[in-house]
A and B are shown apart, each in its own frame.
Chain A
Amino acid sequence: MRRLKRILRIAGNDIRIMVKDKVFFFWTLAFPILFILLFGYLYKGGETAPPSAELTVLNQDEGRWGAYFLEKIKSPGIVLKTAGTEPAEYNRLIILPPDFSEKIEARKDQALALKKREDASAAAAARVEIRLYQAIARLLSELVLYGDGDLTKFLDGHAEFRDLVTVKTRYPAKTITVVPGGMDHAIPGITVQFIMMMVLIYGGVTVMEDRKKGVLSRLLFSPLSPGALYQAKLLARWLMGMLQALMLFVVGKIFFRLNLGDVPLSLLVIAVFALATAALSVFIGSLMGKEDMIIGLSILLANVFAGLGGCWWPIEVVPPAVRTMGMISPAYWAMDALHKLRFFQGDFAAVAPNLGVLLALAVVLSILAGRFFKIRD
């Protein structure tokens, strides 16, 4: 009990001194928010993509069903453009052939061509496809219900049939239908980066300085054991990381309508990631004796890990080889888990491998940092 009290007292004191520092808010809030704004707007996408998706239609149908089908496609999320001839530029183009109605009436199957510009938004394309399936399903169901008569009049009397069929599209695993983007990507990304920056730099330098000043030795003049002292230093640096994350998430929630997906699981991912970072900071602080060296190494590690791990841009957009390389970055495992939770309907089982990797890393680094924890030079 006394041991725990002493550990909490020392960790609390470290946090208090950090919060008193004038540059604390600059590093934990101002600077990261600048980054968030930059990357948030740079990689807009995902749910914050343009609210409507464009579809160009080339209707060559000679019967009446072509126009009817177009009516079914119309929806607030779709901007429908019609063209007389095949246009040179389009995002997506659907062609209704001259025999479109004829084949319907003859109950013959047919294939419609949907052409997509290669670099157009995948999210918009998905929305258009879903709408097309819905339109096809409606048209077919109405044909079943009412044959070839005037369906509009029938449906006016039978509103209950209007949305009889809804279509849910499923994509094979690994197909990227959504590219994470916007604030929901940028805020966690910059948070993960700044946990590394802040905890490694501040946490590492203070461990080193406290050793040089004789503060660590003096702490041991009390009935405190060296093991408890190490735990206190580790706890303090973990709390620094958590404080950083909570502040950015709260600011994100209030000002940028941040949506993390599963909040408790997201915090768990951040917590394990922060623990690994905290252990690394104590390790670096014990091994190095110069402030410049610690700052240099921390900035290098934090930025390389952030870049490789997908903190700045969604890892989903980089080539597969780079993505594989990113796996050496602890930030990769954190960001990948956060993306699963926010953008890919992930649950605990989905992020368990990520948590496992991060936890193993945290354990290994904690043991290393404990072994090399230096009280005096």
Chain B
Amino acid sequence: MLPGRILWYDAFTKEWNMLEIKNLTKSYGDLLALDHFSLTLEKGEVLGLLGPNGAGKTTLISILAGTVRDFTGSVRFLGHDLFSDRNLKNRLGIVPQDMAFYEELNAMDNLLFWGGLYDVPRDALKKRAAEILERVELSGRMKEPVKNFSGGMKRRLNTAIGLLHRPDLLLLDEPTVGIDVQAKVSILDLIRKVGAEGTGVIFTTHQLAEVENTCSRIAIMDCGRILAQGTMEELIRLVGEKDIVEITGNFPAASFTEALQDLDGNGIELLSAADNLATLAVADTEQIPKTMDRLFRRKLAVTDLKIKTPSLETVFLKLTGRSLRD
């Protein structure tokens, strides 16, 4: 199909979702990496996809990128089956988790090479490369071999390469992993701006703080499926009007769970229990002494107790029973 025809479809895509993923399922042997995963995205939406290690984030991105096959389910992009036409990839930008570029070349040459694989006119490409280097604050070092770059600079270049051909949809796999705060802020800022310009964005992360300020929508996934999605407020409402109690001490997880077994009816909800650390959601703080009483009676040592307001982290705990960082 000609790129022109895709443009023609654009007039209609405004009424459609830019991206529609339905029942995507992918297994590696017995392991279900994606389990009937469904998601839609509209133009200009920035979606943060939160999930712990092994949740299936990279698998999802790789399927959309076309490098992982043998899955079931469907993906429609701009009103087409994403896998029906290679030219659709001209509208899709992907920033992989790996720093996948040529360390021997300088930043400018990398951009010109990678951008050159898309259907972008040569002179436009040069202008855009200079522009994007400006945006990721690498203009000053664009003639230096990339192998001399710091981790943060490489991440920024990695991101820039995915943006060069001005895609309608940008997918980023953990774009901020392992870099300093300054580079992180710069990349998140770029993601926000790109979204504001009308590009759809999905980015995956482990970091709650990142999605809180960057995304218009958040999806929480684990074990290959989406557990919940919505705006920050909507997600926090899932926990209800409750306070969060974080208890640190010296106890096995099992004993802790046992101690609080039949307290549910009193508005106490056990969100997570690990050895020496447990989190509860309580409707009324007056219930806290009752809880502590139970622990003491079982001789479970408590060294610290913190009361917090619900956050995204609480939602995540409630949904997955584990912290994002484990």
Contacts and interface: CB of A to CB of B under 8 A. Distances in A.
Interface of A: 2, 6, 9-10, 13, 16-17, 20-21, 213-215, 217-225, 375-376
Interface string B38-70: 000000000000000000000000100111000
A13 to B, nearest CB: 5
Given A213-B100, A375-B67, A223 B87 contact: yes
A6 B117 contact: yes
Given A9-B117, A13-B102, A217-B96, A223 B65 contact: no
Given A213-B98, A213-B99, A217-B96, A222 B89 contact: yes
Interface in B51-110: 62, 65-67, 86-87, 89-90, 92, 94, 96-102, 104-105
A228 B110 CA distance: 20
A89 B48 CA distance: 94
B116 interface: yes
B152 to A, nearest CB: 18
Given A9-B113, A220-B65, A215 B119 contact: no
Contacts of B99: 213-214
A376 B100 CA distance: 12
Give 10 closest A-B pairs by Cβ, nearest first: A214-B98, A214-B100, A222-B117, A218-B100, A223-B86, A221-B94, A217-B67, A223-B89, A215-B100, A17-B104
A173 B260 CA distance: 100
A217 B68 CA distance: 9
B149 to A, nearest CB: 15
B114 A218 contact: yes
A222 B96 CA distance: 13
A6 B115 CA distance: 11
Interface residues of B, number: 26
B61 to A, nearest CB: 10
Nearest to A10: B117
A221 B104 contact: no
B216 to A, nearest CB: 25
B67 A220 contact: yes
A354 to B, nearest CB: 37
A290 B273 CA distance: 43
Contact of B113 (A13, A217, A221): A13
A336 to B, nearest CB: 38
A17 B100 contact: no
Contacts of B97: 214
Contacts of A223: 86-87, 89-90, 117-119
Contacts of B114: 218, 222
A233 to B, nearest CB: 14
Contact of B66 (A2, A21, A214, A220): A220
A375 B68 CA distance: 10
A5 to B, nearest CB: 9
Nearest to B165: A222
Contacts of A220: 65-67
B66 A221 contact: yes
Contact of B65 (A2, A16, A221, A224): A221
Given A17-B105, A214-B97, 16 more contacts: A6-B117, A17-B102, A21-B104, A214-B96, A214-B99, A214-B100, A217-B67, A217-B96, A218-B101, A219-B117, A220-B65, A221-B66, A221-B89, A223-B117, A225-B86, A375-B67
A9 B117 CA distance: 8
Which of A13, A222, A224 counts the most chain B CB atoms within 10 A? A222
A224 B102 contact: no
B117 A224 contact: yes
A221 B165 CA distance: 12
Given A220-B66, A221-B89, A215 B117 contact: no
Contacts of B96: 214, 217-218, 221
Which of B86, B90, B100, B117 counts the most chain A CB atoms within 10 A? B117
A20 B100 contact: no
A221 B100 CA distance: 11
